[in-house]
Amino acid sequence: MLKFYINGAWVDPIGSDRLGVENPATEEIVAEVALGSAADADRAVAAARAAFDGYTAWPVAERIALVKRLLEVYNDRYEDFAQAMRLEMGAPIEWARGAQAWAGQVHIESTIQSAEEMVWEYARGTTRILYEGIGVCALITPWNWPMNQIACKVAPALIAGCTMVLKPSEIAPLSGLLFAEVCHAAGVPAGVFNLVNGTGPVVGARLSAHPQVDMVSFTGSTRAGTAVAAAAAPTVKRVAQELGGKSANIILPGADLAAAVTGGVEGCFGNTGQSCDAPTRMFVPRARHAEALEIARAAAGAVVVGDPCDPATTMGPLVSKLQFDKVQGMIQKGIDEGATLVCGGLGRPAGLNRGWFVQPTVFGDVTPQMTIAREEIFGPVLAILPYDTVDAAVAMANDTVYGLAAYVQGPLDAARAVGRRLRAGQVNLNYPDWDTCAPFGGYKQSGNGREYADWGIHDFCEVKALIGYGEA
């Protein structure tokens, strides 16, 4: 846990800074990791730069074959990943297996499939269009979906022909270290994949500003994303960002209210509410607002909060005391600003006296100006807002600085029409299955660029035109 993976080997850090990794369900330190310095980041970038020319010259088919080997090793270590995320972020074990570890697996699979179907070069008249790896990439990933975001960056970067330095979140670093072991076992060439643990203000800032880094792919808060963009600007490197969200969920008058509200509560509370695309603002017809609150109360009551090791648990703790305190503060703001507390509220659930557990919380009678309707909470807190007309619901849904995701429930034709009007990168109609081939990314302050499948591959590519190439 106290080494970094640089140039195909586990190496000692240059400095001696350490950080304890907390199990948020018990508040116990379960591991220790080294915190890197700018000099460690420089070492990793130098390794990636030295490896780039040789690796990017590999034929696409060989790069795809490499990622297929990586997938095989990932699958062999699948349970290890689930247990790591159960430990480092408090994910309930069934969620860790069926969502967190699965996300890494399915994104690698989708990237492979898309790469095999992708047209990597083609003729446009006498010009030849080529897609080539952009170069050395800094990959900065968050703690809330560790394997989802690592796989969504590493797999397309490898297939595009890039070399990279990964900085996982220092809060949940164990699964990232496991992923480095997978890359090594799969035979990723030395220097192509490197990992340095550390903080955003130190390692993240150095990677973002580094003159030998050609691209930064960042997932995290909008606040941190602006810092990354500012650090990257002087070297005019590409910056792809997946940032915050405050996703609207419009329940149309023709929807099955019980199913729509219940599904919305479950979507908001999944991953303990720690998802940037969670449907945290629910809009319901004013005439059915009281009914919706009772449905939401019942749905929240069905959530089982507790020990992540228990298969019956459906909600674990928040990731840290910092996150716990933030969510408690937002719940207090909801109360202070006059929203109706339907269920949940301040403090831990009954019977849980340690760990960063929170009560699944629902507010009704929320107005668009309230803090809980405008700011990202990143916890299991649902705001229900009544509306008078569909036009009013759309206007309120779009009245946000964010635009990552949105949700619409109701008759399909009506849902489609409303979906076209929402300013968000993904609009989910009637709670569809997770589509890992659909582009994922946001409008406005939710970021730029797109991830998943071929969309992610394109983000890691430059486009070259060979003019005068002639007929193929």
Q: Which residues are designated catalytic?
A: 242, 276
**Residue in 185, 179, 182 with CA at minimum distance from that of residue 197:** 179
DSSP string over 66-110: HHHHHHHHHHHTHHHHHHHHHHHH---HHHIIIIIIHHHHHHHHH
Helices (DSSP H) in 21-77: which residue ranges? 38-56, 60-76
Amino acid at 31: A
Q: Rounded distance, CA 162 to CA 206, Å?
A: 19
**213 contacts 149 by C-beta, under 8 angstroms:** no
Contact 217, 137 (CB under 8 A): yes
**CA–CA separation, 57 vs 390, rounded Å?**
54
Order of strands, edge to edge, in the sheet holding 340-343? 340-343, 361-364, 381-387, 281-285, 248-251, 405-409, 426-429
DSSP bridge partners of 282: 249, 384
Q: Which of 412, 385, 382, 411 is nearest to 399 (CA)?
A: 385
**DSSP code of 46?**
H
Among 235, 237, 288, 239, which residue's Cα sits nearest to residue 261?
288
d(CA 285, CA 388): 6
Where are the strands (E) in 275-366, listed by range? 281-285, 340-343, 361-364
CB 185 within 8 A of CB 73: yes
